[in-house]
């Protein structure tokens, strides 16, 4: 069965304190791995797509990486406005897209 597990469930960091969020997955025929950001009361907002092991994508203070079993979202020198829930999702061979439970990130000023 396809599965996505994110850790930690919640993370509190001081402003400027870099860290990484983890997404482990089991999927039949990975077609893509996605990272989304979700703010309270809003729908998820797309950040990155990764297709194959070894691939990396960057956007401002965020960098996403992918291996055959997991993906990391690295946050460098975060700011309070980076506080949000970060969701990982995988698209399987049948095009079904399933999500993890997310990591709630809180950046303290």
User: Interface with another protein by CB under 8 A: which residues?
Assistant: 4, 6, 31-32, 34, 36, 41-46, 49, 51, 87, 89, 91, 94-102
Structure tokens at 25: 């997955």
Q: How far is CA 80 from CA 13, 24, 109, in A?
A: 9, 26, 6
Q: Which is nearer to another protein, 12 or 46 (CB)?
A: 46
What is the torsional sign of CA 70, 19, 13, 81? negative
Pick 34 or 73: Cβ nearer another protein: 34
Give 43 or 109: the residue with its C-beta nearer to another protein: 43
Q: Min. distance of Cβ 45 from another protein in angstroms?
A: 7
């Amino acid at each position: 069965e396809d599965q996505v597990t994110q850790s930690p469930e919640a993370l509190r960091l001081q402003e400027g304190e870099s860290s990484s969020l983890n997404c482990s997955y089991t999927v039949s025929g990975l077609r893509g791995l996605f990272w989304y950001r979700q703010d309270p009361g809003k729908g998820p907002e797309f950040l990155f797509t990764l297709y194959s092991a070894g691939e990396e994508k960057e956007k401002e203070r965020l960098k996403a990486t992918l291996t055959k079993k997991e993906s990391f979202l690295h946050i460098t020198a975060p700011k309070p406005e980076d506080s949000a829930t970060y969701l990982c999702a995988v698209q399987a061979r049948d095009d079904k897209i399933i999500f993890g439970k997310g990591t709630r990130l809180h950046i303290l000023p």
